Structure 1
Amino acid sequence: MIDEFAKHNLHGRLRRDRKALLWKLDGLSEYDVRRPLTATGTNLLGLVKHVAGVEARYFGEVFDRPSPEPLPRWEDHDGSDLWATEDETRDQIIESYRRTWEYSDATINELPLDAPGHVPWWPEPYPNTNLFAIMLHVLSESVRHAGHADILREGLDGRTGLRAEHEQRIDQEARAAYCAKIEQAARSAARSGVEECPG
């Protein structure tokens, strides 16, 4: 009973975060979904492409289920899963991600939580695992990257939130006042020599 509850709950959260990640692309130009928005090149469409590959690998190779999408070998990884080439369209990447959802969902639906899996790229003694551990791992990856996308999107046009119905549009004056308050607290702490707590 608890296994089915846990599986249903984790799967529901994964579905929620998939949609949240895609929503971060809505209404943006081709340039804005593709351009590097951090010093390391992180970009919105690249995050979607990357998470699709993560799901396909973990819910595929780990359980000896071939992926419906072509995936580069891990040893050939050159960062190309983190950005979209000029030949890849937004629609292609989104559709690839959606096909991966169907494929991942089939693995989740067909296997019990204790189904054994093997992650050859994990170091010893961790390669032997199960569906429960993989669901947690993929969910944490999805949450992490959806959070990245949220920050990137806020930097582009100020839109935040988990989904369109939760979107937060903050008054620019209120936002500036709030940031000024945080800046003042940071400057004041730096002047007074406040030290970090020992870790």
Structure 2
Amino acid sequence: MAMHAPMTSNENAMLTGYVEQQLLAVRGAAYGLTDEELWTTPTASALSVGAIVKHVARCTQGWLDRIEAAPGEPARGSDEEAAEEYGADFRRADTDTGDSLRAELTGALERAQQLLPQVDLGAKVPVPSDAPWWPADLDAWDVRWAVLHIVEEVAHHAGHADIIRESIDGATMYELLAADQNWPETEWMKHWRRAEATAEAV
């Protein structure tokens, strides 16, 4: 897609475009990194690009579960299982590879593209009660709020991913998005390429 979410009078399409835009920004931050580079922590934070990709994919899927189940509750495990799983999506598992993480994120993107254009934005999404940050004085949000929350959550982490990626190899958002989405190159905007491949041209 283009750099910006599409302008449209269709609210579902506009919200879908913003979710897509932010998920692609996170995917772009991971573009071209090796498996080891994905888990590098070059800043003062313990976060890595790989951890962000994994968290964003799973967080997005969790909210899509809630949206799809509205006005009911999505299937979920016990509070004990939820507590055990908390934070696991920021840690590297033995089965995590660059390909598997990118596939997980792309799966969340494709599900959003299929579900959100047709969802009832006024449907009620029950407020969970399994963590202290959920509002105690509210029974439900509407789907519109939940979709905007996905945008907020993913955009927050897209900024983290940008900083971490630039700290790894100096790559910036536009050149990464251009390469990931195969934008036409111009005199001033080129696709990201590994430094070794372009050293002679610099």
Residue 113 of structure 1, aligned match among 97, 117, 121: 121
Cα distance in 2, alignment partners of residues 127 and 57 from structure 1:
18
Residue 104 of structure 1, aligned match among 106, 112, 130: 112
Mapped contact 2:29–2:173 kept (Cα < 8 A): no
Whose RCO is larger (CA < 8 A, sep 6+)? 2
Residue 26 of structure 1, aligned match among 20, 24, 31: 31
- Return closer, same or farther for 1:38/1:147 CA change in 2, 3 Å cut-off: same
In the alignment, structure 1 residue 136 sits paired with structure 2 residue 153: no
Q: Flag structure 2 segments of 5+ consecutive residues without an equivalent.
A: 1-7, 184-188, 193-202
Cα distance in 2, alignment partners of residues 86 and 31 from structure 1:
12
Note the aligned Cα RMSD (angstroms): 2.7
Q: What TM-score, normalized by structure 1, do the two folds share?
A: 0.70
Give the aligned partner of residue 187 of structure 1: none
Deviation of 1:120 after TM superposition, in Å, equals: 0.9
Deviation of 1:123 after TM superposition, in Å, equals: 2.6
Q: Could you say which structure has the larger radius of gyration?
A: 1
SS in 1 for 2:125: strand
Give the aligned partner of residue 14 of structure 2: 9
Structure 1, 39-48 or 157-166: larger mean CA deviation: 157-166
- Return closer, same or farther for 1:107/1:55 CA change in 2, 3 Å cut-off: same
Q: What TM-score, normalized by structure 2, do the two folds share?
A: 0.70
Structure 1, 57-66 or 135-144: larger mean CA deviation: 57-66
Cα distance in 2, alignment partners of residues 90 and 9 from structure 1:
30
Mapped contact 2:28–2:173 kept (Cα < 8 A): no
**Displacement over 4 Å in runs of 4+:** 165-169
> Could you report, residue by residue, the CA deviation over 1:133-176 in whole angstroms, capped at 9, with x for unpaired residues?
0111000111111111111111111111242256799xxxxxxx
- Aligned-pair identity in percent equals 25
Q: Flag structure 1 segments of 5+ consecutive residues without an equivalent.
A: 170-199
In the alignment, structure 1 residue 151 sits paired with structure 2 residue 163: yes
Cα distance in 2, alignment partners of residues 113 and 61 from structure 1:
13
Mapped contact 2:22–2:155 kept (Cα < 8 A): yes
- Return closer, same or farther for 1:118/1:106 CA change in 2, 3 Å cut-off: farther
- Return closer, same or farther for 1:84/1:109 CA change in 2, 3 Å cut-off: same
